[in-house]
A = this chain, B = another copy of it.
Amino acid sequence: MNLSPRQSEILSIARAMGRVMVDDLARHFDVAVQTIRRDLGELADLGHLDRIHGGAVPRQGMVNIAYERRRKLNAGGKAAIAAAVAARIPENSSIILTLGTTTEAVAQALLHHRNLTVITNNMNVANTLCANPGCEIMVAGGALRRSDGGLVGALTAEFFAQFKVDIAVLGASALDHDGDLLDYDLAEVRVSRAILAQARATYVVADHTKLTRSAPARIASLSEVAKLVTDQPLPPDLARRCADWGCEVVVAPPVP
């Protein structure tokens, strides 16, 4: 999409002033505030600006817009799941955190746990948990994927093979009606499978939006998993299947 002249000017004003306000811009261009809002919204979608209440600021850094948007998608549900998972991870334990925005929310929720050992192939998780001094962090080696800060590939799987942890927190791109965990990227699936083998218990985190999606590669079945933590009740047939498998389904209560 091309920028309108007004949008270009908004952008240069924003960059020059460090911040623009909706009202000021509406007066400056003599248009309605809704029009300005639309412009700002589009500029934000294109990654040029960040919306703030009442205006916008030029975006600094952060390479990946699509990923930022994914992170905001159902942020409430993810926070709820994260809190529920964190409550089920005891202090003084060792865990693996994998890729995915939900997993990153779990890392946020673990900021105040003490004496954790966290092994992760997610740069965002590592950066987040840096702020928790009571947490030893092992970063898995591998090729860095810009789109989400993930470390993937054969070397990553090998790395995980050297550990054995209490709990693995596994993300997934999709969760189908048969209870299969699915993903888009085969390299990532291999890593996930290696992780599954190295954990005494596996918790899968997946918000309800994952139930309506599909993906080509299969990671595992919920039958191999100890808990599924989600934010809305499962469809009855899947819930029954989980019960048969002994996979505990945790529906996280919303956090206020």
Contacts and interface: CB of A to CB of B under 8 A. Distances in A.
A243 interface: no
A65 interface: no
A73 interface: no
A124 to B, nearest CB: 10
Question: In which size bucket is the chain A interface?
Answer: 35 or more
Contacts of A151: 139, 141
A162 B61 CA distance: 27
A87 interface: no
Contacts of A75: 1
A131 B2 contact: no
B132 A127 contact: no
A32 interface: no
26 contacts: A2-B50, A4-B53, A5-B19, A45-B108, A45-B111, A47-B128, A47-B131, A47-B132, A62-B130, A63-B130, A123-B139, A126-B144, A130-B144, A130-B149, A136-B143, A137-B143, A137-B144, A138-B141, A138-B142, A138-B144, A139-B139, A139-B143, A139-B151, A141-B141, A141-B159, A155-B159
